[in-house]
Amino acid sequence: MANLPSEPEFEQAYKELVSTLENSSLFEQNPEYKTALKVVSIPERIIQFRVVWEDDKGEVQVNRGYRVQFNSTLGPYKGGLRFHPTVNLSILKFLGFEQIFKNALTGLNIGGGKGGADFDPKGKSDNEIRRFCCAFMSELGKHIGADTDIPAGDIGVGGREIGYMFGQYKKQTKLWEGVLTGKGGSWGGSLIRPEATGYGLVYYVQHMIKYATNGQESFSGKRVAISGSGNVAQFAALKVIELGGTVLSLSDSKGAIIATTEGGIDAELIGLIAKLKLERKQLAEVAGTSEFSSKVKYVPGARPWLEVGAVDVALPSATQNEVSKEEAEGLIKAGAKFIAEGSNMGSTQEAIDVFEASRKTQKGDAIWYAPGKAANAGGVAVSGLEMAQNSARVPWTSEQVDDKLKDIMKNAFENGLQTAKTYVTPAEGELPSLVAGSNIAGFSKVAAAMKDHGDWW
């Protein structure tokens, strides 16, 4: 990569994968996989384009649009679209790279990709967002299709934006097909899709708790710190409450709310936050109201990890690198036994090193870490299920989708667990490395299929 511009997020994701592969017996048993690693680390295709649109004042605006079609070995490219001013090629390459192996862990036939634009939806009118989405899809639509590349939503892209883009795609192609996931329920969307990442995260951690405690414990009675306040955080929090846990925190880019009562952050408050986020408002704008101040305190400029006190489970569900080394050490001191990422690459490499060192040295008393590529795979899994429903022109009930999601998350956990035992044999009393197991399982599946296709030999 020495001849390329610096891409810190992508380089971090790449090094994190490589370090776990090299510190396992995978390359000893399959030395040819080193060649596969070189091939899989370069996107099959990167599409960059300008997006020209008109604001409400009639003034022309321009943004940069992207689609990284990273790997189609297991199926058509699949991954979200992010609209945020921080979007750049490094971030999209990191997300697309992670998506390859996350999608492999779902067991579904979907490849990896990611896309978006440096457009900021905040402060824009519905008409401005519609005009931007139509301009964006006018170019992106030339490069995607139901059997080629199926984008979904991500930060800044929800049901409204998916609807505008789907309408534009249909107008320019004359095709009604499952080219986007996260669609409205009355026109091809899947039930449980908005909830899927948060629900799936909690289902995954359920298996961690059950395994680590020999079935003696569950979410019941657990104190759970959650970051973020979007779909992932909201639905993870609701599922934790349903399973008997106490939610200690939520957050956004401006600060965190920390529970001040024994009941924690309840479902009623989460409903208020959901409404707030639909209005694109910050927690700071309502933290002082009676509905909030009677149940939580607001800590400006903070993430929740060092603010919540005693904690059993941590679920980073906001954005990348939201748990630092210092915060990792703080979580361990606060008693956390489980941490699983609802966000992509939610922990810095230094934080992961702290978690993995604890796993090795503290054994049964350690914190156990699960990476986002496994723990937050529920969202893309239900996107894959939405594709299946679109292809069959048959909608499934919420119970059917939820049951399939539970099975997918169980299989992702067990696949990572067993792969870790095979290639990174844990010491006696030591919990297996889920980060190593998930990386190796996802990579091995993709590498073997690429070889079958003649992509490397």
Residues serving a catalytic function are: 114
Would you say 231 is a known binding-site residue? yes
Would you say 197 is a known binding-site residue? yes
Would you say 411 is a known binding-site residue? no
CA dihedral 410, 411, 414, 420 (to 10 degrees): -140
Would you say 78 is a known binding-site residue? yes
Q: Which segments are annotated as binding site for substrate? A: 78, 99, 102, 153, 383
Q: Which segments are annotated as binding site for NAD(+)? A: 197, 231
Q: Which segments are annotated as binding site? A: 78, 99, 102, 153, 197, 231, 383
